[in-house]
Amino acid sequence: MRETFQPCVYILASRRHGTLYIGVTSNLLARIVQHREGLIPGFTQRYGVRQLVWYEMHDTMDAAILREKRMKEWWRAWKIELIEARNEQWDDLAIGLGLPRLATASAGV
């Protein structure tokens, strides 16, 4: 797994059209691992939000943080449209970044 240090906004989902989580990080792979392994107790662990369904890289953390804040204010339907514009099947994009498939990914996500 290659380390990537770049500001990034991301969306995790519990399943297709399920619970969504929007986050921001400077190391996407490490942050996804934290979510998947439940290393940080809270919302994502409680609701099983572990599948990376959308992400967007930014030049600066300030730009990424601003984008995350704006997205959190969007209606849910807009977030779903954003995801489906690039990931219609809600595939786990973390696999393409080098992370293993989730054990539950084949269960209707």
**Residue 52: enclosing H or E segment and its boundaries?**
strand 51-57
Q: What does pLDDT average to in each consecutive run of 10 residues of the chain (109 residues)? A: 77 95 95 88 86 96 97 96 97 94 59
**Nearest-angstrom CA–CA distance, 42 and 14:** 14
- Report, in angstroms and rounded to the nearest whole number, the Rg of the chain calculated over CA atoms: 13
Q: What is the pTM of this model?
A: 0.88
Sequence-ordered list of residues with C-beta below 8 angstroms from that of 60, at least 6 positions apart, any chain? 7
Query: What's the pLDDT score for residue 46?
Result: 87
